[in-house]
A and B are shown apart, each in its own frame.
Chain A
Amino acid sequence: MKLFLSLVRIMGRGDKMEQEFARELRWNNLAAEYQTMLYRVAFANMHNRADAEDAVQEAFLRYMKDEKPIANKEHEKAWLIRTTIHICMDMLKSSWRRRTVPLTDSLQAQTQEVYLPYQLKDDRTLEAVLKLPVHYRNPIYLFYYEDYSIQEIAGVLNEKEGTIKTRLRRGREEVRKILTERRPQDL
């Protein structure tokens, strides 16, 4: 890379090309670092791979477009998660989406699309979490499956810590309800 940069300088193309190259490199690193995690967050909201990928791409595009100087890595990560969730919410609210019926597999098949960095002992719980209303789903998903602290979730979702604690507790009760409901195939 150093050789390339010095060649650019020698060729007299100036600082502009050097800046372009450095920016591209930064974006590549950013994508490599966060795309899997953001995909999982988007999947938890969209429930299908294609839409989740679209949401993540859109989040990266907004980040690049904005080019805001973000104070530190944690803020950068929180910004990306927050934006991804907002994009998902917008997509779910769009009138086109409300008028169409997605051609998707069962939720069980879909959860296998979530590439968690560890093996889950119980996929049924994740399925139940994905069925939760959005205000419970995101805090629960981030707390249990992405290992975020209550403080971090409060920062990402722009809520008070007390609100997140309440949502975690109520969401947990909802998950329990979903899991204890008798499914049609069990009857």
Chain B
Amino acid sequence: MSIQEVGRNGKSSKEQIQEYPGRKREERTKKFQDSLMQNLKYQEQTQEQDNREKAGNGARRIGHDSKAGRLGTSGIRVNALVGWETVQATEVRHMSYEESDNIEIAVTEGYTLKGKLEGRCVYVEAKYDDGRLEAYQVDTDRVQEQTQHRIEKFAVETVAGMADFERTDGK
């Protein structure tokens, strides 16, 4: 009679080894299914949220993550309430200083603003010293007179500056 190595559950170690990969695969499959279900749930939730936002006022909310990057964050140090419909994120065009109608260089705040009047809107490009580059489209007709929001204020200044320029025929 030969001696055989037996495990705790009475099975030989060879049998255990053969069983092990299958059991592991089963566990992994279960985990994968769980995470897939979680992801699907999350996707459904975010889609629902997006649909609700779209169905709302149609304007993108400042302060949310968007395709154009974070907006109204620490770069522009204002804590005022933002008019949701006046400032909208847009694609960055890499406008030069020469092309801009108005420029603001705020070294101590760590940003520069460039503005160009386009019809009744102002295209504003903001560059921050942490490397972010963001662009906004500001509807100046909807901006409140006493606004404290830096982008809105800058857009209003751009419109006023251009009106002055036209009044004096660029002299």
Residues of A within 8 A of B (CB): 117-118, 120-122, 125, 128-129, 140, 143-145, 147, 149-150, 161, 165, 168-169, 172, 175-176, 179
Contacts and interface: CB of A to CB of B under 8 A. Distances in A.
Nearest to B103: A118
B108 A125 contact: yes
Interface string B101-131: 0011101101010000000000000010111
Chain A interface, DSSP helix/strand/loop, else mixed: helix
The 7 closest A-B pairs by CB, nearest first: A168-B129, A176-B108, A150-B131, A144-B105, A147-B97, A125-B107, A118-B103
Nearest to B108: A176
A129 B96 CA distance: 21
Nearest to B114: A147
Interface in B40-95: none
Contacts of B112: 143-144, 147
Interface of B: 96-98, 100, 103-105, 107-108, 110, 112, 127, 129-131, 133
Nearest to A176: B108
Nearest to A150: B131
20 contacts: A117-B98, A118-B97, A118-B100, A120-B105, A121-B104, A125-B108, A143-B112, A145-B105, A147-B96, A147-B112, A149-B127, A149-B131, A149-B133, A165-B129, A169-B110, A172-B107, A172-B110, A172-B129, A175-B108, A176-B108
Highest count of chain A CB atoms <10 Å: which of B105, B107, B112: B107
Nearest to A139: B129
Contacts, number: 48
Describe B's contact surface by its main secondary structure: loop
A175 B106 CA distance: 11
Contact of A165 (B127, B131, B133): B131
Contact of A168 (B97, B98, B110, B133): B110
Contacts of B130: 165, 169
Q: Which of A144, A149, A175 has the most CB of B within 10 A?
A: A144
A86 to B, nearest CB: 24
Nearest to A140: B107
B107 A161 contact: no
Nearest to B94: A149
B108 A179 contact: yes
Nearest to B161: A119
A121 B107 CA distance: 12
Given A117-B98, A121-B104, A147-B96, 9 more contacts: A118-B100, A120-B105, A125-B107, A144-B107, A147-B127, A165-B130, A165-B131, A168-B110, A172-B108
Contacts of A179: 108
Contacts of A165: 129-131
B131 to A, nearest CB: 5
B131 A175 contact: no
A120 B106 CA distance: 11
Contacts of B104: 121
A179 B130 CA distance: 22
